[in-house]
């Protein structure tokens, strides 16, 4: 350093003969899809908590963490529609588990009615399990 002050304007200017870099055009922000999460909807959080009280008797994990619940829809009248599956079509509790789910969700204050629909499309597989369920089943 020669002791002279630095000309910051000159120091930050593009080299001679090279045009200044263009300022990129602002990027339009894309809104995220509108999904209701348990944090946004206390009733949904309570429904999920109720679903976590229902266990597959053959597997020591609740049906929510196992990934057996495919969807939970709550309409404006607080009717709940649940789409769920089983680990296998021949599950011994296939006839009973939908009623367990219905009873658990109907017990949530504010729920008007619950309808449970069983589906095997897509078939359940272990990739649907949460990390919590994998940990409970020592699958790590």
| In the predicted structure, residue 140 carries a pLDDT above the cut 60 | yes
Domains recognised in the chain with CATH numbers: 42-136 (3.30.300.130)
Mean pLDDT of 27-42: 52
Task: Mean pLDDT check: name the lowest of 73-77, 108-112, 132-136.
Answer: 132-136
Helical spans, DSSP H, in 20-62? 42-51
Mean pLDDT of 57-68: 90
Give the strands of the sheet with 79-84, arranged side by side.
Answer: 69-74, 79-84, 113-118
| In the predicted structure, residue 35 carries a pLDDT above the cut 80 | no
Mean pLDDT of 10-23: 52
Whether the CA torsion 62, 65, 71, 76 is positive or negative: it is: positive
* Contacts (Cβ under 8 Å, ≥6 apart) of 98: 84, 116, 118
Residue from 70, 73, 61, 46 nearest 133 by CA: 61
Pairwise CA distance, residues 85 & 96, whole Å? 12
Residue 8 is predicted with a pLDDT of 45
The kind and range of the H/E element at 72 are: strand 69-74
Residue 30 is predicted with a pLDDT of 35
0.95 surpassed by pTM: no
Confidence of residue 114 (pLDDT cuts 50, 70, 90): very high
Q: What is the mean pLDDT of the chain?
A: 80
Residue 139 is predicted with a pLDDT of 76
């Amino acid at each position: 350093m020669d002791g002279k002050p630095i000309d910051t304007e000159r120091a930050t200017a593009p080299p001679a003969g090279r045009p200044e870099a263009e300022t990129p055009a602002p990027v339009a922000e894309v809104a995220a899809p509108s999904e209701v999460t348990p944090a946004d909807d206390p009733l949904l959080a309570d429904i999920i908590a109720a679903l976590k009280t229902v266990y597959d008797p053959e597997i020591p994990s609740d049906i929510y963490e196992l990934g057996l619940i495919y969807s939970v829809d709550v309409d404006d009248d607080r009717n709940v529609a649940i789409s769920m599956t089983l680990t296998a079509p021949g599950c011994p509790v296939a006839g009973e588990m939908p009623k367990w789910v219905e009873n658990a969700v109907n017990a949530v204050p504010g729920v008007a009615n619950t309808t449970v629909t069983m589906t095997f499309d897509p078939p359940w597989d272990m990739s649907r399990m949460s990390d919590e369920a994998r940990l409970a089943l020592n699958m790590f």
